[in-house]
């Protein structure tokens, strides 16, 4: 074991989120675990027309190092395990289809405009939006953020995969703009949530001068460590989302062993964040 490993999670979620001297923007509302204990939900998304959740690494069937609820192909895990894990997620949420993005750290947004005959994984996109009921839009993570978006007025949703490259490309703004174009979503109506992801405690970027634009350098909480949760809040506010409508789990995936973390473990799985509009009885 390397001595340079980041600190392990000995603090409960929600504590020590913002190191001394750094003021995060916006208001924080912590997420909480559902009784199943592997689904984290956001209080702001308790609308009866919505299903959602961030699933932690537990409750699946994959062996080490993907143990156990790995949802991603291409990491060495057996596809049958991944199908079983995805099926378990659909059952837990009561959703008919999962549409996931095969993410590339870009800023393209895909609109799902009809219910597919089977689950779909769409290559080359980092944002997914829809207003079709019954479809769970899924982002796959191991330190990157999923930013979940819900427009209760138009009953439309979006989800974005936000790593540092996505932050630089402003995938959050692209996803909000796309909801405006496709569903006439007003940003002021949007409720947003930032999933568990790499926290300011562990987001060390020693090459930040070449990787991050100068406008983001002010988000350093100490030398070389950045608060990407605060950046995402500000990017959401920058496109018109109200600060009081933004909540963050405040859970660092690198500190918290219940989540996959690429930075902590490198060879590991991916966990899932999913959001969808419920199908009404007809």
- Whose Cβ is closer to Zn ion: residue 158's or residue 196's? 196
Query: Measured between alpha carbons, how far is 181 from 238 in angstroms, rounded to an integer?
Result: 17
The DSSP secondary-structure symbol of 160 reads E
**Token couple for 75:** 């990491």
CA angle 88, 139, 218 (to 5 degrees): 140
User: Nearest distance from residue 262's CB to Zn ion, in Å?
Assistant: 13
User: Nearest distance from residue 256's CB to Zn ion, in Å?
Assistant: 8
Query: Residues with Cβ < 8 Å from 183, sequence gap 6 or more?
Result: 129, 131, 151, 154, 156
- Whose Cβ is closer to Zn ion: residue 12's or residue 74's? 12
Within 131-232, strands assigned E span: 135-141, 145-151, 156-162, 191-194, 220-222, 225-226
Check: CB of residue 212 under 8 Å from CB of residue 168: yes
User: Nearest distance from residue 253's CB to Zn ion, in Å?
Assistant: 8
- Whose Cβ is closer to Zn ion: residue 85's or residue 197's? 197
- Whose Cβ is closer to Zn ion: residue 73's or residue 205's? 205
User: Nearest distance from residue 11's CB to Zn ion, in Å?
Assistant: 9
- Whose Cβ is closer to Zn ion: residue 55's or residue 259's? 259
Give the footprint of Zn ion on this chain (CB under 5 A).
Answer: 199, 201-202, 252, 254-255
Query: Residues with Cβ < 8 Å from 27, sequence gap 6 or more?
Result: 243, 244, 246, 247
User: Nearest distance from residue 237's CB to Zn ion, in Å?
Assistant: 24
**Token couple for 262:** 């690429």
Check: CB of residue 107 under 8 Å from CB of residue 170: yes
Return the residue nearest Zn ion (CB atom): 252
- Whose Cβ is closer to Zn ion: residue 139's or residue 254's? 254
User: Nearest distance from residue 255's CB to Zn ion, in Å?
Assistant: 3
Query: Measured between alpha carbons, how far is 61 from 136 in angstroms, rounded to an integer?
Result: 21
- Whose Cβ is closer to Zn ion: residue 163's or residue 199's? 199
Query: Residues with Cβ < 8 Å from 74, sequence gap 6 or more?
Result: none
């Amino acid at each position: 074991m390397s001595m340079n490993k980041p600190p392990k999670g000995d603090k409960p979620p929600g504590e020590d989120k913002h190191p001394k001297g750094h003021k995060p923007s916006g208001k924080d509302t912590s997420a909480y675990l559902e009784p199943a204990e592997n689904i984290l939900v956001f209080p702001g998304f308790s609308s009866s027309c919505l299903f959602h959740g961030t699933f932690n690494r537990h409750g699946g069937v994959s062996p080490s190092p993907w143990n156990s609820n790995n949802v991603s192909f291409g990491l060495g895990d057996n596809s049958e395990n991944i199908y079983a894990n995805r099926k378990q997620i659909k059952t837990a949420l009561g959703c008919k289809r999962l549409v996931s993005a095969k993410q590339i750290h870009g800023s393209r947004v895909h609109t799902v405009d009809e219910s597919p005959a089977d689950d779909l994984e769409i290559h080359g996109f980092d944002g997914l939006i829809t207003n079709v009921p019954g479809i769970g839009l899924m982002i796959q993570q191991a330190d990157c953020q999923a930013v979940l978006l819900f427009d209760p007025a138009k009953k439309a949703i979006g989800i974005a995969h936000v790593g540092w490259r996505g932050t630089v490309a402003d995938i959050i703004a692209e996803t909000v703009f796309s909801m405006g174009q496709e569903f006439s979503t007003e940003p002021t109506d949007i409720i947003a949530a930032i999933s568990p992801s790499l926290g300011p405690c562990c987001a060390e970027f020693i090459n930040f001068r070449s990787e991050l634009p100068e406008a983001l350098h002010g988000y350093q909480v100490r030398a070389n460590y950045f608060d990407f949760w605060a950046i995402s809040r500000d990017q959401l506010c920058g496109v018109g989302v109200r600060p009081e409508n933004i909540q963050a789990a405040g859970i660092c995936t690198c500190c918290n062993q219940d989540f996959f973390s690429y930075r902590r473990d490198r060879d590991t799985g991916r966990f899932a964040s999913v959001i969808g509009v419920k199908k009404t009885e007809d």
